[in-house]
Structure 1
Amino acid sequence: MRLCEHPLSSYAQKIKIALREKGVTFTAEVPDSFGTGRSDTPFAAANPRTEVPVLIDGDVTIFESTVILEYIEERWPEPPLLPRDPAARAFARLTEDVCDTQYEAVNWGFGEVLWFRRATGALADQLRARAAGQTRTLQAWLEQRLGAAVWFGGDDFGWADAAAAPMVNRSVHYGLGPEPGTPLARWHARIRERPSVAATFAEFDVAAAEMAAASDLYTSGGRRREYRDHRLEWMVKSGGIEVVLAGLRDGNIRFPWPEG
């Protein structure tokens, strides 16, 4: 069992949490060509989008984090991450979808400024402010869904918790975490103590500490950040069209497969 991933990827973190919850042994590896967008590598053969995560289970190769999560749930049904009730299952999947699209885009955009210095001065201040406001909106939405429950699935840790954990934790890393004492902050404190999540977050912390040193690769063109769907939308609607144009000019951003 191999997992092509990057410790900073919220999508990969979700998968590692799920595998660890189910006690599945796996080897995690960062592809050598990660971030290059090259199409002539074993990684591209496994996933033409050249995105992580990619799960390789013997002869089976799967990409796209939600499809991987579904495969894990069906391949190793115990302990279940999805509840049995159809409405509760839909609740979990909707929570994941918002986390994977709207929330991930905000976190990604904030990282473009913090780690990769795509904007400076007034533009950087504007993008950070937009991200902070949007983060509060998303956390309020998550808190409403959590309610008074211990986990998003009620009494049992589940699918929605695995999906939301990397998103909220990255906000905390950015200094945009939920207000202390709120239900979402207490949920984050609980989830950090869970072994599957604690191991995944520890890997994130190590990679995040090294990101400043690696950021030059992504501005020099040695690596290219992927401006996919909701991420591109976030940058444009938040006032960062200049960032996109500069990336196109300098050749240090890319768009999803197929390019050209």
Structure 2
Amino acid sequence: MSSIEIVEHPLSPYAQKLKIALDEKGIAYSATLPDGIGSGDTPSLAGESFRGEVPVLRIDGHSLFDSAVILDFIEERWPDPALLPADPLARAHAREIEEVCDTHYEAISWGLGEIRFFGRAKGELADKMEAEAAAQIGRLNAWLETRLGDQDWFGGDRFGFADICAAPFVQGAAGFGNAPATGSRLESWLARVRERPSAAKSFAAAAAVAPSMTDVASLVESGLFKRQYRDHRLEWMIRTGGIEIVQAGLEKNNIRFNSEPS
């Protein structure tokens, strides 16, 4: 039997989707937190994650990084029960949902965390950015609802790949006060997701550690905890009015970007 470990943080939506997938397939695993997470220096991930980020999947002496790559591996390594639909076009649509959630949706929730947890913006700027984030989430939820249609699940009559990819992000946005519209089909979908043991387990683990995030604000301010501003996150921060946040982070050396492994 394979030994499977997910190196993660419970609040990471990328890690959450992997844990939900493994639990849906009935695959036992352990979940661990790496040393130095959030500091920009994670020696325990050296040679495993090109970006030094979680999640990482360890299995039988091998390791994989990037949640999209790992989720595909999980589906191919343990094909039963299948999470992806059989039809190639439906599979492509499921992966489109994963891509949008991993980039556009994640960036907004991450940005709200920068404001709420770490105090990157205050007063009028915070209010303005949070209002824009709420509007963005509303548009993304509306897009997801068009993909859901009249079905119970994105894949039709059973919970699957696209549901797993969307669930952590819609749940996370709801935690910031941006739940799906009342009476919407997406609201009903999220209620069904929360009833699934796999999702409930992952959401509970995230909820358990969320209060402790405010304790990290002082570490961010001191530069000991450096938040990752890569790719879509940096784009979101700038286009939502937070260019001064980026500039302040550079001055205080408490933000970081991608770098090649040494």
TM range (shorter): over 0.9
Q: What is the deviation of 1:218?
A: 2.1
Partner of 1:21: 24
1:107-142 alpha-carbon deviations (Å, 9 max, x no partner) = 111111111100111111111011011000000000
Q: What is the deviation of 1:259?
A: 8.3
1:78-104 alpha-carbon deviations (Å, 9 max, x no partner) = 111101100100010001100000000
Measure the CA separation in 2 of the matches of 1:157 and 1:219: 42
Indicate if the aligned counterparts of 1:165 and 1:188 stay in contact, CA closer than 8 A: yes
1:31-77 alpha-carbon deviations (Å, 9 max, x no partner) = 011111126x1213211311110000012200000000000001100
Partner of 2:44: 42
Measure the CA separation in 2 of the matches of 1:86 and 1:228: 31
Measure the CA separation in 2 of the matches of 1:195 and 1:132: 28
Q: Unpaired runs of 5+ in structure 1?
A: none
Measure the CA separation in 2 of the matches of 1:149 and 1:90: 18
Partner of 1:86: 88
Measure the CA separation in 1 of the matches of 2:95 and 2:89: 10
Q: How does 1:204-219 map to 2 (within 5 A)?
A: 204-219=206-221
Percent identity over paired residues: 53
Partner of 1:128: 130
1:229-251 alpha-carbon deviations (Å, 9 max, x no partner) = 00000000111000000000001
Equivalent position to 1:254, from 227, 236, 256: 256
Indicate if the aligned counterparts of 2:15 and 2:54 stay in contact, CA closer than 8 A: yes
Partner of 2:247: 245
Partner of 1:6: 9
Measure the CA separation in 2 of the matches of 1:234 and 1:244: 11
Measure the CA separation in 1 of the matches of 2:14 and 2:224: 23
Equivalent position to 2:33, from 16, 30, 33: 30
Measure the CA separation in 2 of the matches of 1:3 and 1:35: 17
Q: How does 1:57-136 map to 2 (within 5 A)?
A: 57-136=59-138
C-alpha change, 1:113 and 1:13, in structure 2 (3 Å) is: same
Indicate if the aligned counterparts of 1:33 and 1:43 stay in contact, CA closer than 8 A: no
Measure the CA separation in 1 of the matches of 2:41 and 2:78: 33
TM-score by length of 2: 0.96
Indicate if the aligned counterparts of 1:17 and 1:200 stay in contact, CA closer than 8 A: yes
CA RMSD of aligned residues (A): 1.3
Quick one: which amino acid aligns to residue 237 of structure 2? M
Measure the CA separation in 2 of the matches of 1:148 and 1:217: 46
1:200-234 alpha-carbon deviations (Å, 9 max, x no partner) = 00001001122112232222211110001000000
Quick one: which amino acid aligns to residue 38 of structure 1? D
Q: Unpaired runs of 5+ in structure 2?
A: none
Measure the CA separation in 1 of the matches of 2:245 and 2:120: 6
